[in-house]
Amino acid sequence: MQGNYFCVVLFLLFGIAKCVDEYVVPSSQVTGLYYFYNSTNGDRWSLNPEDGPRWKFDSYSSPCHAAWQGLTCSCVSDACNITQISLPGKNVHGMIPPEIQLLPELEVLELYSNRLNGSSLTAVCGLNALTYLDLHSSHLEESVPTCFGDINIFSRLTYLDLSNNDLRHSNLSFACGLNSLVHMDLSNDLMNATVPVCFGETGVLPELEFLDLSTNGLYGTNLSFVCGLRALTYLDMSQDGIVDVIPACIKQASMLGYMDLSANRLNNTNVSVLCQLPELNYLGLQAANIHGTIPTCIGALTLLEEIRMGTNPLVGTLPSQLGSLVKLENLEIFGTFLRGVISPTYCSMEKLHKLKLSSSFLSGELPSCLGILTTLEEILLNDNNFSGSIPSALGCLSFLNTLNLEINNLSGPIPASLTGIPALTVLALNDNYLSSSIPSFDGLMLELNVENNLLSGAIPSSIGSMVTMQYCSLSFNYLTGRCFVLLCFVVFCFV
């Protein structure tokens, strides 16, 4: 036998092993692996042979020497310890057994996208060396045990993801004992709880940078706890049923870059407190009951890449200062009571991909300079009071796939330049006062709706050759010819 790469394994009981050469794994750790394997139906794990050998408890196989799939070892001289179990999405089905505590050097446990049950979380409580725990989307149905909050157990834990499970009876106060935590994701866990004030107390979660508690029932939560999380860069508490206001002290969380408080009842009449978050790059306040005006100081948050403030009772006008957000990629402010015009300053948003200002009371002409925003993929300005003609410059937007200008007061012809947009798949211009003929569109159009206008002339034959078309409505115009799928008449064509 080769001494450097092979060791004789003597199985004493349930995989207890002793190596007489290198890669010696303590027998107790092999026992812990054995119980874990059996408790989670190891014979049925979905392992890829290319990623390493299956676990094999016999006299010729050592976990570290054979590099069992999903295991990582740390070896010093001739002694090895199991430091990582990583088996995400491998059909690990069953309960994490208490014997996993026989792996005292385990630092990483990654079992997400499996089917765990029983008291799996309780079993984990004995792993004092754990720094990384990811069990998201694993069908867990239990409360987070109080032992998780014991600082003497998880003093090293920096990453915790238990999202997309059923933890509905959990008390969030356990997290106040995880003082080393950097990343915590408990989203979509069916929890009905309140974020305890200890979250924001000095020294409790001093390193926390990522916090996702979204899609739960955190009804009684006071958002002022955020003010104490000075290292926080990511906060998602959307769809939590929170009834509160964004506190003025939020400026103390000055490192925040991502904040989503959508689908809550925030009752803020003034969100200018957010202007004191200079690192903000994502602002999500959709359907959050934000009312009042959009503060002009938002335009000073020059790192913003996304603004989502749709479906709020906002009043006033669209601030022209938003045009200063040259890094903005997504602007969604729809379903509001906003009036006024789209300022030409918005044409400075040279990285914009999506412009959604629909279902409001905006008016005036569409700025022709929108045609220089060559990264635009979606323009949704429907259900407003825009007037004038459709700018022919929009035909320069080669990446534009959706143009929705329906239900406005637009007039004049449909610009022929729109037919030259190679990516255009959805064109909705219905319910306006457009006149003249329909240009000859071709390509991969999926939806064309120009009904309820003043269009005339022959229906273009190119419409009949669009094999990808899923919806076409030309009705209630003054058109002649055939619709090519059904026989259509002068004033009605519907495909």
Bridge-partner residues for 361, per DSSP?
A: 339
Helix, coil or strand: residue 458: strand
Average pLDDT over residues 88-108: 97
pLDDT interval class at 492 (50, 70, 90): very low
More confident residue, 340 or 15: 340
Q: How far apart are CA 417 and CA 312, in angstroms?
A: 35
| Residue-level pLDDT at 15 | 40
| 164 backbone φψ class: left, alpha, beta (φ>0; ψ -120 to 50) | left
Give, for 411, the enclosing helix (H) or strand (E).
strand 409-412
Bridge-partner residues for 84, per DSSP?
A: 72, 108
Helix, coil or strand: residue 378: strand
| Residue-level pLDDT at 8 | 33
| Residue-level pLDDT at 416 | 96
User: Is the pLDDT assigned to residue 4 strictly greater than 70?
Assistant: no
The predicted-structure confidence for 262-307, as pLDDT tens digits, reads as follows 999 998 788 999 999 999 999 999 999 999 999 999 999 999 999 9
Average pLDDT over residues 198-207: 94
- DSSP assignment of 32-79, as one string? HHHHHHHHTTGGG----GGG-PPP--STT--TTTTT-TTEEEEEETTE
Helix, coil or strand: residue 232: coil
Least confident segment among 281-290, 334-343, 438-447, 453-462: 438-447
The predicted-structure confidence for 431-444, as pLDDT tens digits, reads as follows 999 999 999 987 78
Give, for 30, the enclosing helix (H) or strand (E).
helix 27-39
pLDDT interval class at 115 (50, 70, 90): very high
**46 burial type by CB count under 10 A (0-12 exposed, 13-18 middle, 19+ buried):** exposed
pLDDT interval class at 482 (50, 70, 90): low
User: Is the pLDDT assigned to residue 453 strictly greater than 70?
Assistant: yes
| Residue-level pLDDT at 190 | 95
CB 384 within 8 A of CB 362: yes
